[in-house]
Amino acid sequence: MRLAVRRRNGYNIRVTSRIAVQLTRALSRDFLGSWLWYRRGNQRAGSPCRSTAAAFGGRDMSDSTEPAYRPIGDYALIGDCRSAALVSGAGSIDWLCWPRFDSPSIFGALLDRRLGGRFSIVPVEPFVTRRRYVGDTAVLETTFQTANGVVRLTDLMPVASEAEKARALWPDHELLRRIECLEGTVEVDVLFDPRPDYGRLAPRLIDRHAFGLVCEHRAQVIALRSEIPLEPGEGPGARGRARLRAGEARRLSVTYDRWLPVVLVPLGGAAEERIARSLAWWEAWTHGCRYDGPYAEMVRRSAIALKLMTYAPSGAVIAAPTASLPERIGGVRNWDYRYCWLRDASLTLRAFDDLGFTVEGEAFLSWVLHATRLTWPELQVLYDVYGEARIPESTLDHLEGYARSAPVRVGNAAIDQLQLDTYGEVIDAAWRYCERGGRLDRTTARTLIGLGDTVIRRWHEPDEGIWEPRGGRQHHTHSKAMCWVALDRLVRLCERRHVQAGSARFARARDTIREVVEARGYSARLGSYVSIFGRETLDASLLLLSLMGYADPQSPRMRGTLARVRERLGADALLYRYLDEDDGLPGSEGAFGICGFWGVEARALQGEVAAARGDFERLLSFANDVGLFAEEIDPGSGAAIGNFPQAFTHVGLINAAVTLARLQGEGPAHTPVAAVDRRGHA
């Protein structure tokens, strides 16, 4: 018997029947548990036959010289709450941007396997893998089983408390990897190939011997210290091999500094201490989670994913740590999500608060109110982690894009759009903060009044809407309803004296908006609210009308809306965000992750808790092997598509779980916005 195996470097090789039998045994025995995670077979890591063809609809994207693109769902996330890296199921770091989430990439093989650069540690022999995060932490373990042994790769960005960091010199950033042999003897291959500035540079590495391999780019220094000797080659990058026996371990540390001398971090026992300290920090942080309802493990994993996408120095939460992962393989719907969207504000704050991470929630709200000062009293769709309002979009034409999905975009042109719903999100977030006992200072109160006046002035204008289509402005029902939410919350803030202002003009405008929405945003023929005034198209944001407190979830109008949305946009438990609207872009996309969770919440609030729970469990099955969700899911294959992992999807998961727990009497926490009458009063 002979078995064709695709190795990590793309060559098809032959292995003997003996190895094939051992691999088969390994799969069926030790890895059965993890293999069950790989319910969707060909989109997961772990297969000894690593063809990516199936994941790309039958097209083999590999060639004979470069590793193929791995499925998006094959990646796991590590980070230090200032930057993040994606680690593939084959032990390769294919995406890393330093010093910030939105900085140019240093490893970018995710977007160009030839030019992007990577840092891989992988057995030379064929292998199968199993992955997990260690406990409730962001420390990743990838275990490789080969015919001759087992090695475990640990990946992390070391973290510690500020007090601990004050006691020792820390680099600006560090990526720490440890490879240890658990059984037998395994030879591992290491490739360190940084390509700064989105792969525009292919620097020669300088071997400083005891001080490591160094790559300098302008004022930035990337240094690798390794317990496995690496040799810089003729071209860019350095390579090395080591044969590890059971009980042996090797550590490799990449550090980054700018403007200052590089900080050389010790390896050996000191590196072990950094791993232990990081594990302890994450465990302690997760211990602050007060949620212990159903699906607690997935909720905690989502909280950690959300935390990893938080920029600690400012409190901002980015939408995703990646750029231009396609919404359709080979398509053009490729966007940069390494920024912060205001539309996420209220729901994100709710997720943090309900889990007990109030400090993160307050920091995020503080960022929202601080960031928007540059554009006040108008709001932009998105800002960078420090609130910079100008984020021009451009394409990186030298990169071929993930699985040849071009163009690769960085920056985001949605910044020029008008999305009236953001006013509702921001003011609702402030109101939630006050509801939990927070107090607003006069500057913040004035900020909110200014936003309310902008809503009064602009609510009747058409806008691009929550989904940011590039086909022009329309009168979106969801946007108008969120204008209602903005003014409703402002009225409440005024009435409870959190904001010192008269509420009459806000109340008048609020009531007018409701009348208009009820008259023009609802179709009696469909028995449903509609996406755009006067049309009969639907989109999933209509479900937010009840989740945000505009409409009673059990009202006939919302019941009809949920039924029509599920009927038209549903696929399994998933929901497309829209299907029958022209968004001004060619091609199509998958089901939108968070919309499915909105469907769960809306269904549960309508009283169908058991059915909602079934939908929720079905949605959980679309997570990858380490519990992460992308922006979208292909309903046909179940594959993750779009930027990965997506904070908004994990926010949806948390909020849906909390709602289910509350309705089942098992949960904390979240008090929904009071149901409203037709005049908008609680």
Partner 1 sequence: MNVPSVLLWGFAATIVLSITMAGSQRLGYTRMSIPFLLGTMVTPNRDRAMLLGLLVHMMNGWLFALLYALAFESWHRATWWLGAGIGMVHGLFVLTVGMSIVPAMHPRMVSEYFGPTPNRQLQPPGFLALNYGSRTPIVTLVSHLVYGAILGAFYQLAGP
Does residue 314 interact with partner 1 by CB under 8 A? yes
Q: Which residue has the tokens 């903060």?
A: 433
Which pair of tokens denotes residue 601? 């919440």
DSSP 321-357: S-B---SSTTSS---B--SEEGGGHHHHHHHHHHHT-
Does residue 80 interact with partner 1 by CB under 8 A? yes
How far apart are the C-alpha atoms of 645 and 631, rounded to whole Å?
7
The mark string for 335-374 relative to partner 1 (x by CB under 8 A, - otherwise) is ----------------------x-xx-xx--x---x--xx
Nearer to partner 1, 376 or 533 (CB): 376
Name the minimum Å distance from CB 359 to partner 1: 5
Which pair of tokens denotes residue 607? 């009283």
Residue from 209, 235, 247, 443 binding partner 1 (CB under 8 A) = 443
Nearer to partner 1, 208 or 390 (CB): 390
Partners of residue 131 on adjacent β-strands: 142
Whether 205 and 226 have beta carbons less than 8 Å apart is answered as no
Nearer to partner 1, 445 or 530 (CB): 445
Does residue 167 interact with partner 1 by CB under 8 A? no
Does residue 81 interact with partner 1 by CB under 8 A? yes
Nearest to 353 by CA among 429, 444, 418: 429
Nearer to partner 1, 340 or 575 (CB): 340
State in Å, rounded, how far the first CA of the chain is from the last one.
72
Does residue 310 interact with partner 1 by CB under 8 A? yes
**For residues 146-165, which are near partner 1 according to CB under 8 A?**
159, 161-162, 165
Read off φ and ψ for residue 289, nearest 5 degrees. -75, 120
Does residue 450 interact with partner 1 by CB under 8 A? no
The mark string for 369-408 relative to partner 1 (x by CB under 8 A, - otherwise) is -x--xxxx---------xxxxx------------------
Does residue 136 interact with partner 1 by CB under 8 A? no
Does residue 234 interact with partner 1 by CB under 8 A? no
Name the minimum Å distance from CB 371 to partner 1: 9
Does residue 441 interact with partner 1 by CB under 8 A? yes
Whether 635 and 140 have beta carbons less than 8 Å apart is answered as no
Pairing of strands 632-633, 640-641: antiparallel
How far apart are the C-alpha atoms of 594 and 224, rounded to whole Å?
39
Read off φ and ψ for residue 17, nearest 5 degrees. -60, -30
Instruction: Spell out the long-range contacts of 227-235 with Cβ–Cβ below 8 A and sequence spacing 24 or more.
Output: 227/251, 227/252, 227/267, 227/268, 228/179, 228/188, 228/190, 228/252, 230/190, 230/192, 232/204, 232/205, 232/206, 232/207, 235/202
Name the minimum Å distance from CB 136 to partner 1: 14
Name the minimum Å distance from CB 216 to partner 1: 18
Nearer to partner 1, 357 or 597 (CB): 357
Name the minimum Å distance from CB 404 to partner 1: 34
Nearest to 230 by CA among 260, 194, 200: 194
Residue from 69, 75, 192, 285 binding partner 1 (CB under 8 A) = 285
Under the rule (CB under 8 A), what is the footprint of partner 1? 80-82, 99, 159, 161-162, 165, 170, 172, 259, 281, 285, 307, 310-315, 357, 359-360, 362-363, 366, 370, 373-376, 386-390, 441-444
